[in-house]
Structure 1
Amino acid sequence: MDNIKKPDLSIDEVGGLLQIIVRSKIDNIKEASSGKIKRVYFFNFQNKEYVICFAKDNTEFEVESYLQDRFDKAKIPSPKVLNKGCYKDYYYAISEKLYGIPICDLDKEEVESSLPSIMDTLKNIHSIDISSTLGYGWLNSNKNGQFKTFEEFLRHFFSKEIQGFWKDWYELFEKSFLDYEVFMELYRKMIKLAPYCEGKRYLVHSDFHYNNVLVSNSKVTGVIDWGGVSYLDYFFDISKIVLEFSEHDLFNRFCEFYKQNDFDVSHARERFLCATICHSLDGMRFYAKLGKEDVYKNILKNVLALIDIYQE
């Protein structure tokens, strides 16, 4: 099983393409260290910095363009797509570069001082009106969710038959340290909790953590990498932050904040656990795929601890 393949491009190829697009000299092209399935480069043009991303699928770029007006109105700092196109067998998008420190690089005091802005940014994302859309999960070409119910989305996400990035992932149970019995026990817990998230439809980033959130002077200055944007329960974003900063007791703080802003916080523990188990299972199989057993074990340890804390 080897489906983790970024677009195969050289710096010289990227530079040549950019010169054709902008018809001028391009400076300081550098490949970004982030990006699991995309290839991302920074470059300078007329004393400004930009980003060009390459992917084998253009869904993310189309969705970002579709949502841009909504992001602007909601005051969500996301990169504006300036140019899109095709090169070889890949799609590309050029956007402005956003500045700030990834939240994964903040110390404990910096995280604490940035939390009001982080919480407010998430609240603004989850407040975007999606009443004209239908369905759950990732957005399709009509900007509706791909699944009729939340549980259908969950079952598909971990199905043996899933295609794309996770094609043939069941091989990991035989060829890696991914434990089938442990995985399926957690999966069954998640499915049992799924009814609590049914009917809870919000626009969610789905990967709101690590280096996808940029901060400067305690303010969120950028939310990037919208490839997983979906219609799901907003706890799918909150759980990512709670998992990353477990020492800050963020679950209770988010619940209180969302309650004050008139969000539905009923069955918060069950909804949070469902989202947390989903993210953890996905992380477990991802790091099994990469062969990083220490990370896999840490994810498993953390999710079991959270289940002990939050299950009724």
Structure 2
Amino acid sequence: MTAYVKPMVDTAGIVSAISHHLGEGATGIAPVSGGNLSSVFAFSLNGAAYIIKFSDMEHAYETEGYVSRLLRQQGIPFPRCMGQGKAGLLAYSILERIPGRNLVDCTAEEQSLQLPELIRMLTAMNHMDVGATGGFGWIQPDGNGAFPAWRDYVVSFFADEQTGFWEGWREIPGLEQDVVDECYQRLLAYSVYNEPHRHFIHGDVSPWNILSDGRRITGIIDGNFAYGDFIVDVATLKIMMGETDVVKAYQECSEKLGIDIPDFQKRMIGAYYFKGLDGLRFFAKMGRDRDYRYMRQFLLSLTS
């Protein structure tokens, strides 16, 4: 099994998708770096800046329009979705382009100074009122979760038999099955602490999906949007930002807002296993050996 390669898109296909939704006249079409699974292009039209993303992943971008409206209504700086569709076998999504660069490209000092604002945004996102919807796991186009319970989502997420990107994932070269089995059993054991909690989860909140001008957070983009325990987002951000004290900042922000977080440490461990096991198989599939070894060590040392 070779490492995943993002889909190739020719200029004619890009222009056709843009014209279908926004009309003709797009200029400056150019690839944008970043994104592990999507081919992303920037362009301008009538003086405004946009991006268009293409993916061969199953169900890609199906809920992006719904999530865009939901987050923007809450004042979260998520890009406005301008159109979605299919171009042959590829799904695409057109979004307003938010100014700024990836937070990961900011200095450590700049990241630290922006952490309080980022945590406030994340807390607001996690605690939006989602009472009008039901279900856990992947958010569907109608706004409901795809599964009746969090455990059902977890079991489906790591099922041996998959289609699309994760088809045959158990056979990925270099993915140690004994490590996978051990981490999965730990995940199931600790997931009982995550199961009662249902909130909006970004699902991939990392410094690559946060935009900044160096002083302020200008936008939050992309995501694997789901309903479940918001601690998943806290764990993701902690894993991705390393030494930055994300956990302490989130706890302090929640305390100021009067938000109680029972079983915090056990929920964090459950979230670490959920995101970490997914990261482990992803790094193996992408051939990122150094990241794989780091994640392996991190997961196996969590409850030792």
Query: Which runs of no fewer than 5 residues in structure 1 stay unpaired?
Result: none
Note if contact 1:3-1:167 (Cα within 8 Å) is conserved in structure 2.
Answer: no
Correspondence 1:272 to 2:268: yes
C-alpha spacing 1:291/1:55, structure 2 compared with 1 (3 Å): closer
Q: Secondary structure of 1:138's partner?
A: strand
- Per mean C-alpha deviation after superposition, the further-off stretch among 61-70 and 153-162 is 61-70
* Cα deviations by residue, 1:75-106 (Å, 9 ceiling, x for unpaired): 10011011233322333222110122212122
Q: Report the TM-score, using the length of structure 1 for normalisation.
A: 0.89
Note if contact 2:234-2:250 (Cα within 8 Å) is conserved in structure 1.
Answer: yes
- Per mean C-alpha deviation after superposition, the further-off stretch among 228-237 and 13-22 is 13-22
Q: Which amino acid aligns with 1:246?
A: G
- Per mean C-alpha deviation after superposition, the further-off stretch among 89-98 and 56-65 is 56-65
Q: Secondary structure of 1:68's partner?
A: helix
Q: Secondary structure of 2:197's partner?
A: coil
C-alpha spacing 1:57/1:277, structure 2 compared with 1 (3 Å): closer
Correspondence 1:117 to 2:113: no
Correspondence 1:243 to 2:243: no
Q: 1:262 — aligned with what?
A: 258
- Per mean C-alpha deviation after superposition, the further-off stretch among 192-201 and 217-226 is 217-226
1:210 paired residue among 204, 207, 220 = 207
Aligned residues: 304
Q: 1:73 — aligned with what?
A: 73
Q: 1:139 — aligned with what?
A: 139
Note if contact 2:118-2:217 (Cα within 8 Å) is conserved in structure 1.
Answer: yes
Q: 1:190 — aligned with what?
A: 187
Correspondence 1:285 to 2:245: no
C-alpha root-mean-square deviation of aligned residues, in Å? Answer: 2.2
Question: Identity rate of aligned residues, in percent?
Answer: 26
Q: 2:153 — aligned with what?
A: 153
C-alpha spacing 1:101/1:186, structure 2 compared with 1 (3 Å): same
Q: Report the TM-score, using the length of structure 2 for normalisation.
A: 0.91
Q: Which amino acid aligns with 1:275?
A: A
Q: Secondary structure of 1:194's partner?
A: helix
Query: Whole-Å Cα distance in 2 between the matches of residues 157 and 85 of structure 1?
Result: 25
Q: Which amino acid aligns with 2:174?
A: F
Residue 239 of structure 1 and its aligned partner are, at CA, apart by 0.7
Query: Whole-Å Cα distance in 2 between the matches of residues 135 and 168 of structure 1?
Result: 27
Q: Secondary structure of 1:40's partner?
A: strand
Q: 1:94 — aligned with what?
A: 94
Query: Whole-Å Cα distance in 2 between the matches of residues 284 and 46 of structure 1?
Result: 43
Q: Which amino acid aligns with 2:83?
A: N
Residue 22 of structure 1 and its aligned partner are, at CA, apart by 4.2
| Between structures 1 and 2, the one with greater helix share | 1
Note if contact 2:58-2:164 (Cα within 8 Å) is conserved in structure 1.
Answer: no
Query: Which runs of no fewer than 5 residues in structure 2 stay unpaired?
Result: none
* Cα deviations by residue, 1:238-282 (Å, 9 ceiling, x for unpaired): 111111223233223312322322333110001111111111111
